[in-house]
Structure 1
Amino acid sequence: MATDTPRIPEQGVATLPDEAWERARRRAEIISPLAQSETVGHEAADMAAQALGLSRRQVYVLIRRARQGSGLVTDLVPGQSGGGKGKGRLPEPVERVIHELLQKRFLTKQKRSLAAFHREVTQVCKAQKLRVPARNTVALRIASLDPRKVIRRREGQDAARDLQGVGGEPPAVTAPLEQVQIDHTVIDLIVVDDRDRQPIGRPYLTLAIDVFTRCVLGMVVTLEAPSAPIYCSQR
């Protein structure tokens, strides 16, 4: 499978235009914390979309790319689909078949599996003498759907409420240390091992920031993905 092929994170970075790199870095600052969450509600997605000048759907696509990537800024390079079989743009008739079957056959209470749904797509495409999309491609189309809509259509409104944000306006911050936010980003450097000088990866930088003064109260640098147990153990 393509997902089992080792990736070389550094490939293409040297020739990446400065503007594309800066946009990818900005995306990583905003998308990486969302990708670490189990669920991302519409409120958080809309805030990210406004900050990046994107649509809500594009934000969910970036979150999926970040989760499937290697934790690098280059995972979020604009205009980069990630390559591999089945990840490109399909002919419009094939896209239309997938879209229609998603609405009629996948987003139902029967909760068809990916394998069963792909078989149905294959049957319809063959009947219409269209190119049959790879299973990975169909999986990507499913992953790009609004998670709350998928849960609501397949499991019901009650199950979808767990993905819904609480809404409302956040309370105003009026004094230092009244509210502290923790944010994560990937540092723009590659750590290598001290013996063979082989790339290990890009470290994560986590900052604790006072919302009122914007002062940095603390920081952690680690090669492990951000998580509460890691930071609590390093206090």
Structure 2
Amino acid sequence: FEKELQKRPPSYENLFDLLTKLKPLLQRDKEFLIYWKRAFFMLWKEWISNTEKDFPESLLKNLLSLVQKGKKKKPLFSLEEKERLFSLWDSRLQILCKQGKVQQALQEGKQLSMLMGSSLWEKRTQELVQEHRLLKKLDALMAAKKYPLFSQILKREMKKHFLSPTLWDYYIQKKNHYLQKLKGYRKKRERQKEREVIQILRDISPFSWEKKIYQNWLSQLENE
């Protein structure tokens, strides 16, 4: 096994070939499972980093047969191994959504839920796909300058998914963008542009307390 890994670089195709070769040996000696898992984790990392690659259908069938046999005795992957696989895959899933490969993400989530015998993979995919669609909708509202509607939808979604870091990060990113612009206009003393940016900040904010702060800034500008 070590010679095989040294002989050829652990590319996607070579690892897949190695896993296929190791499969018949697993039926003869369960100790080969250690090597098989090592090659599998290397292949998984290789797959995670390349969103152009689909997870091979033949490997999924190969894995499923191992999982089904394992259920009768001992599961193929331990809970710790599943968590490690899930954590690695989650980063791939986010990249797929950002690239707009929503159908590919949904298909992978479904396949992996079947493979791992847990609905968690499919649920996580659906969550991220919904978030991706929501962010696209919010971006379209920003582009169309429909700021009050943007604020209304963001506020509603933040209430529904209070602990979602994606929505908080998204809003903070937008807010920081305009605060940076505001800083530049204040430095140049461009009052009209400063006023326009504060109005946008006020209109996009999903928080009433924050809206009041921006309204105070506008009042101070008027007084000046």
Q: TM-score, normalised by structure 2?
A: 0.26
Report 1 or 2 for greater relative contact order, CA contacts < 8 Å, sequence distance ≥ 6.
1
Pick the structure with more helix per residue.
2
Larger radius of gyration: 2
TM-score (norm 1): 0.25
Larger strand percent: 1
